[in-house]
Amino acid sequence: MIFYLVTAQHGYTMESYLQNWGRMLAPRIQVLYYEKLPTIRRLPLGTYIFSDLERLSPWQRAAAAQVWDQLSKAGPGMRLLNHPLLASRRYELLHMLHRLGRNCFQVIRATEGRACLRFPVFIREEVEHTGSLTRLLPSEEEVAHALARLVKRGYDLRDLLVVEFCDTGDTNRTFRKYSAFMVGGQIIPRELIFSREWVLKEVDLTTNAMLEADRDYLDQNPDEPWLRETFRLANIDYGRIDYGIKDNVPQVWEINTNPFVTLRPVDYKRSDRPRQEQFASQRMRSAFEAIDSPQASEGVSISIDPELLEKLPGECLSLSLRRFVHKARYNVSFRGISGVLARRFLAAHN
C-alpha cells in the first residue's frame, strides 16, 4: 500500500489521477492529510510519500518529521520518500544549485538586500505554483515598486522571492520547458512544451517538429544522468522537476513535490490522449507499482510531542484556509475539481 501525505486542500493532484488515468491504482494508493496526523495513533506498514513539502509550515514539517522518524524504525516493511526536513524546498534548492554552479541565475527572498542581483528579475511566491507575479523588472526601483503593489494586494514579503531572469529562448524567441518525474529512484520524462512566452504554464505552440521533439524527449530520456543527480542533491525521492536549457546546460526552475500527474482525459485534445495515456496509465502506473509495499496487519504507533501538538490545530486550520482561498483565486484552469477542493477542505477539518 502507498500512503500519499498531502495538505488537505491540495490532495486533488493525486485524487484526480486516481479517479481518471490511475483508476487501476486506486486500491493501492491512499491519500492521507497532514492536518489529520495529530488525530492518528497508528499507521500501517507500507510506502509513504511525504508530498507538498513546499506548503508546510515549520510546525507541520516538524510534526511530519516526527512521524517519519517513528515510521523509519519499523523495519523492512516500511519505505519512506521525501524526508520533511531534508528535502530541499524551492528557495533552498535554487540557492544551492547557484552556489554549486549548476544554475547560472540566483534567487533571494524579498526581505533580503538586492545589491547582488543581475537585472532583469521577476517576483514569485516561495511556496505556491502560480508562476511570476510580475513582468520582467529592469531595476531596483522597479522591484521596490512591484513589491509595494504586491503588499497592497495582500501578499506578505516573507512569502516572496526575487529571481534573476534566465533567458533560454532560441534565435526565434521560442522557449522550451522540460518536465520529468522522479518516483522512488525511477526517472520518467513528462513533457517538452514550447511557447513564445518566457513563463511556460501551458502549450501555446505546436508544430510537427515540436511534437517530434517531445516524442524524442519522452522516448530517449536524454537528461537522465543530470536529472538523477539533481534529485539526489535536492534529497527528493518523489516529485516533478521543471527546467530549461541555456547554452546546452540544464537550468532548474523548481521541483514540485506535489505535482499534477496528469489532467483529466477531457482536458486534453483527442489527438493528445494516446500520449497522455501512455505516460499516466503505463509509465507512471508501473513506477508506482514498483515502489508499492505489501500492507501488513501490524502497524506503527505514532505520536507527536505535546508541545508541538499544541501549536498545530490553529496553525493548520488558518494556514489551510488562507491557502485554500488563495488557490481558488488562481484555479480557473481546473474548475472541474473545485467541488473536490471544497469538499476535501471541509472534510479535513470536521
User: DSSP for 122-152?
Assistant: EEEESS----BSS--B-SHHHHHHHHHHHHH
- What is the tally of structural domains in the chain? 3
222 & 307 share domain: no
User: DSSP for 196-217?
Assistant: SSSS-SS--B--HHHHHHHHHH
277 & 182 share domain: yes
Task: State the amino acid at position 320 in one-letter form.
Answer: S
Mention every residue, 6+ apart, whose C-beta is less than 8 A from residue 124.
130, 131, 132, 133, 160, 161, 163
64 located within any domain: yes
User: What confidence score (pLDDT) does residue 314 get?
Assistant: 56
Are 168 and 185 in contact by the 8 Å Cβ rule? The answer is: no
Say if residue 268 is exposed, middle or buried (CB neighbours under 10 Å; 0-12, 13-18, 19+): middle
96 located within any domain: no
Q: What are phi and psi of 276, to 5 degrees?
A: -65, -40
Task: State the amino acid at position 231 in one-letter form.
Answer: F
User: What confidence score (pLDDT) does residue 324 get?
Assistant: 52
284 & 298 share domain: no
247 & 266 share domain: yes
The residue from 271, 289, 307 where one domain ends is 289
Are 181 and 188 in contact by the 8 Å Cβ rule? The answer is: yes
277 & 304 share domain: no
- Rounded to an integer, what is the distance from CA 248 to the centroid of its chain? 25
223 & 253 share domain: yes
262 & 321 share domain: no
Q: What is the pTM of this model?
A: 0.88
66 located within any domain: yes
248 & 308 share domain: no
298 & 333 share domain: yes
The domain in which residue 49 lies consists of 2-87+292-348
- What is the widest separation between alpha-carbon atoms in the chain? 62
What 8-state DSSP symbol labels residue 282?
Answer: I
98 located within any domain: no
pLDDT in tens, the chain (350 residues): 999 999 988 999 999 999 999 999 999 999 999 999 988 999 999 999 999 999 999 999 999 999 999 999 988 889 999 999 999 999 999 999 999 999 999 999 999 988 889 999 999 999 998 889 999 999 999 999 999 999 999 999 999 999 999 999 998 999 999 999 999 999 999 999 999 999 877 778 889 999 999 999 999 999 999 999 999 999 999 999 999 999 999 999 999 999 999 988 888 888 888 888 999 999 999 999 999 987 666 789 999 998 888 877 555 554 455 445 545 544 444 444 444 444 443 444 44
